Structure 1
């Protein structure tokens, strides 16, 4: 049950209104409150936040919870516990489940499962095409009525430009954003590593950045034509950053995200054929990484998302070519982003919190991202100085496929609250 809490002496960061001050924050009946609005005799449970950051709950706009269909990898219960441990009070669930979330009854099942077993807010997305096959439109209006917050074939990309135009026209009418997995499959076909020096040296089939950039370019033109809200997922190349930057200057309704692993790593990490570093899109060059960092700093890339993609250990313990793409990230995202962006002075903490909370809330049109009185009491208490070692065996996720095992990082969530209820505490 939610109670009456007074978080005392913390650095209160609320990017939604530019608030950055040391003080107290009050929670009552599941919402942030002005204590003056309550009786003077109100009894508060004190939480000492001295030396820590009190921020709006983090929101991850790109998460694979694997239910329905693959509970051996992740469940809504395990995934939301992992999210809470990472400071996330809300996650946006991708629809590449088994069966795909392309029908209202599947969306209903996910929402009910989340109510019963989830400890953070779960926002489902619906497929663009039936079965994510890119051949026939999914029932988009019915999916909206069932409660999806966005449309995506994530993990797949509609290759037919005519069908994608129709998707965008419907999405614009429904006022739903399209979260696009940008990949021209005829260009990436068979690729397992970024096409460049390291793929050549290692003898791995190359995946050209062009595969991403072709779809980014195509979809920007379609969004410009239709007025649809286009969001480009997990950008990985300098060329994609340039295309999004130019489109924003023209006023196209396009936004973008980047993952912590694309900000922190390059394809040099593949030198030992470690499948923990195999993801889609693949890690790029140093020039790509620098462009992505510049893009997140200057606002070309709007926010950071984990693309949390759990897999069983045995699936990854095979030859590099045969291993599935994907890494987990909910429990490491904040620390890796802080190491990559705050420690290097590319961003300050208010800037990082905005890109992990306030901005994704605004773009997706979901509650959160604010500590204002009356807003839902979703928050994370962060110790920015706590040093710790990433240990996959301690993850709350069912899967362990992280590229950051053994990393010494700084910054950790100490407490997560959702709707005024403490759901995780270190």
Structure 2
């Protein structure tokens, strides 16, 4: 059984071309014009892309599956055009032994409709100063390590972790947060925190830990990756470190590109995320950092919560918003259609760049012999983002109700359709 995707605009090797894609079994057989197959998918007027990659998601599985699980999270990813994701280890129990890691990897494969890569933790239980068996975790399937949700507070612990990560050729992805400076805040320090009478978070909680870690990364030569970078100073630190040859990469979220603290209309928990929405200067620096290559990729930090956890005041609500199902459309609409980014740039930050950054094989590109991980987007017609269309258990996002271009029409993983928009 073969399937041909015909008449689309195909993103291949950094270029947009008009071509057909022939899929045979789990793999791409050919990319050319005038191809035919047993089944035809007409992509006329549509964008055909490698399946997008999102290396920062939270699937809450095991332990908090009332918020999300590997199945619903992966359905949400497919709805957003993502075919490969990286799941953070802040679950219960934390997969900090080879046995727990192997169990998680097996469950991800069993439940997921997309490729779910699994992070191991930097430290045991993410809260101690004990370094797990990185060799065993990697052998069991961990592709990188992170304590996302928690910063590593002890510099010696981070130094030892970087040494161990380097020994085992693992990327160390850090949620940069100094808890003493964070001081249980809920919103960026500034005018809006004062007007809303909410406890502020200084950017120093992020920047001081990045500065510390960059010096440790320079000493250890580890691949140090900064999660969800959010401030102008953070971008400047990474830019300087790269110029000095430090092996550092970083990511930015769609919501930090799209919103600032000035966009928070009231004390609304849907705008509460960590790191918080910063100011206009920070937002401008993030956009510039993407364009000049300081920031390597975009990742959603998809963080679903139950409705009861995102009601009331920001002071007591949970941190985090969902992102898998809104990311591409929001960014295409607000940045590509306005001429700030090119379509090739946006696709690169979601495909080529994350694959290269984390040295992932057989993902993020379309070519004969590669797995048939493909996404088709409608970039010519606007659709309204509706809560009832979400595949995730979480609906905690301020983007519901927006009209966007770039809705996912179809997502294919290993040649199998895992999402298809109604009526297509």
TM-score scaled to structure 1, two decimals? 0.96
RMSD: 1.5
Matches of 2:19 and 2:37, distance apart in 1: 18
Deviations 1:239-279 (CA, angstroms, capped at 9, x unpaired)? 00111111111111111101111000111233410100000
Tell me which residue corresponds to 2:7: 9
1:145 pairs with 2:145:
no
Structure 2: distance between partners of 1:68 and 1:35:
40
SS of residue in 2 equivalent to 1:124: strand
Residue 185 (structure 1) aligned with residue 183 (structure 2) = no
- Asked if 1:420 is matched to 2:421, the reply is no
Paired position in structure 2 for 1:382: 377
Q: How does 1:123-162 map to 2 (within 5 A)?
A: 123-162=117-156
313-322 vs 87-96, which deviates more? 313-322
| Other-structure match for 1:410 | 405
**Structure 1 segments (4+ residues) deviating >4 Å:** 40-43
Distance (whole Å) between structure 2 residues aligned to residue 299 and residue 91 of structure 1: 22
| Alpha-carbon distance in 1 for matches of 2:67, 2:35 | 49
Whether the 8 Å contact between 1:263 and 1:340 is mirrored in structure 2 is no
Distance of 1:102 and 1:333 partners within structure 2 = 30
Post-superposition offset of 1:236:
0.7
2:28 to 29, 32, 48: 32
1:42 is displaced (CA, Å) by 7.9
Write the distance in 2 (CA, Å) between the matches of 1:256 and 1:111: 25
Equivalent in 197, 203, 208 of residue 214 of structure 1: 208
1:62–1:93 CA contact under 8 A, matched in 2: yes
Contact 1:276 1:402 in 2 (8 A): yes
Farther off after superposition, 22-31 or 148-157: 22-31
Deviation at 1:18, TM superposition (A): 2.9
Offset of residue 297 of structure 1: 1.4
| Shift of residue 202, structure 1, vs aligned partner | 1.4
Q: Tell me if 1:372 matches 2:367.
A: yes
What do the CA deviations read for 1:143-197 (whole angstroms, capped 9, x no partner)?
Answer: 1111111000000111111110111111111111011101111101121100011
Contact 1:177–1:231 (Cα < 8 Å) also in 2: yes
Q: Closer, same or farther in 2 for the Cα pair 1:295/1:42, shift >3 Å?
A: closer
Q: Using the alignment, how far apart are the partners of 1:274 and 1:111 within structure 2?
A: 36
2:322 equivalent to 1:328: yes
Distance 2:162 2:14 in 1: 34
Q: 1:303 aligns with which of 297, 307, 330?
A: 297
8 Å Cα contact 2:336/2:343 also seen in 1: yes
Match of 1:249 in 2: 243
Map residues 160-199 of structure 1 onto 2, 5 A cutoff: 160-199=154-193
**1: CA distance between counterparts of 2:338 and 2:169?**
38
Normalising by structure 2, we get a TM-score of 0.96
Instruction: Give yes or no for the alignment of 1:104 onto 2:98.
Output: yes
Q: Which moved more, 1:26-35 or 1:364-373?
A: 26-35
Q: Which moved more, 1:362-371 or 1:67-76?
A: 362-371
3-state DSSP class of the match of 2:144?
coil
Query: Is the 8 Å Cα contact of residues 10 and 22 (structure 1) preserved in structure 2?
Result: yes
**Contact residue 21 and residue 35 of structure 2 kept, 8 A:** no
Task: For residues 110-139 of structure 1, give each alpha carbon's deviation from its aligned partner in whole angstroms, at most 9, with x where no partner exists.
Answer: 222122221000100000101101421122
Task: Decide whether the 8 Å contact of 1:235 with 1:256 is kept in 2.
Answer: yes
Correspondence for 2:262:
268
Note the alpha carbon deviations across 1:210-241, whole angstroms, 9 max, x for none: 11101111111111111100110001100001
**1-structure distance, mates of 2:205, 2:35:** 63
Counterpart pick for 1:87 among 81, 84, 95? 81
- Secondary structure of 1:95's counterpart equals coil
In structure 2, distance between residues paired with 1:318 and 1:101: 32
**Structure 2: stretches of 5+ with no match in the other structure:** none
Residues in 2 aligned to 1:233 and 1:134: alpha-carbon distance in whole angstroms: 20
Contact preservation (8 Å) 1:227, 1:253: yes
CA distance in 2, matches of 1:396, 1:316: 18
Does the alignment pair 1:201 with 2:195?
yes
